[in-house]
Amino acid sequence: MTTTTLITVAPTGAESSKADVPALPVTIDELVVTAKECEALGAAVIHVHIRDDDARPTLDLGRLRATVAALRESTDLVVQLSSGGAVTDPEADRLAVLDAAPDMASCTMGTVNFGDDVFLNRWEFIVDLHTRMQERGIVPEYEIFDLGHLTALQRLLGKYGLPAGGHVHVDFVMGVPGGLPGTADALVACRQAVRDLPEGTTFAATGVGRTTIPVMLAALSTGGHLRVGMEDTLTYAKGRPVDSNMQLVARAVGFARLAERPPMSPAEARELLGIPA
């Protein structure tokens, strides 16, 4: 059984507006402050979506590069850029995210209904993302929104080989209306399916909205890692909005310690994920 917990913070996302959620970090400065504080609490990886000057989601390459540089300058966190972006982002812009040369990038393993929208991830696009990351030494985090996405990953790795770094890491994104339910049963079904992936494959889980806590507890008790943050969770407890990303990371660290699986450091995360130090 895994003895430590990889904690990823996803502080911003592309779905919430700054007007509705003033605590959302949207500028590079806000992101850096959040990153430093979350690292001090026990986060090892940061999953990054950026915003433009009007706080709207963007995949602007110059700003992505500046964000990667600022995070590297101020923290030791593993920097993972979202290649998912917002549901409206074109494939070419999503592929160009890799030009910002992050340590990691997300790679969603299939199309999913995303609330009232569709998060489109065509097979050819997934292959492009995977092979370009292999070429550039960028380590993917495979995002799993539905059980069949794990079958797609098995097919991808069978046809195109292991990712950069040689280690396979997946994240179950649960509780999205249209995808996996955020339940322990669904998490266990995904974990069973991970056994068909290369030996040593690790998984994290994220419960969106009210599924945050059940998914976190189920992940910790089945050897999984955690992703938390305001991308996925805006309510801390019934009737109580989240104050900050730090509040969510602190809670995850507390749960991980209770499970006797304390947070791993960024250096340990790099070793686990196959990212050069």
CB of 143 to ligand KMH, least distance (A): 5
Q: Does residue 82 interact with Zn ion by CB under 5 A?
A: yes
Residues contacting ligand KMH: total by CB under 6 A:
13
- At 116, the amino acid letter reads D
Select from 27-35, 77-85, 177-185, 256-264 the region that touches ligand KMH (CB under 6 A): 77-85
CB of 232 to Zn ion, least distance (A): 8
- Kindly tell me the sign of the dihedral angle through the C-alpha atoms of 271, 99, 63, 125: negative
Name the DSSP letter for residue 263.
B
Give the list of residues 6+ apart from residue 68 with CB closer than 8 angstroms, or none.
Answer: 48, 79, 81, 100, 101, 102
CB under 5 to 8 A by kind: which of Zn ion, ligand KMH, none does 30 bind? none
What are the tokens at 152? 């797609």
Does residue 234 contact residue 20 with C-beta atoms inside 8 Å? no
Nearer to ligand KMH, 86 or 272 (CB): 86
Select from 8-16, 62-70, 197-205, 220-228 the region that touches ligand KMH (CB under 6 A): 8-16
Strand partners, 173: 206
Strand partners, 225: 204
Binding site for ligand KMH (CB under 6 A): 13-15, 82-84, 86-87, 106, 108, 114, 119, 143
| Residues at the site binding Zn ion, with contacts judged by CB under 5 A | 82
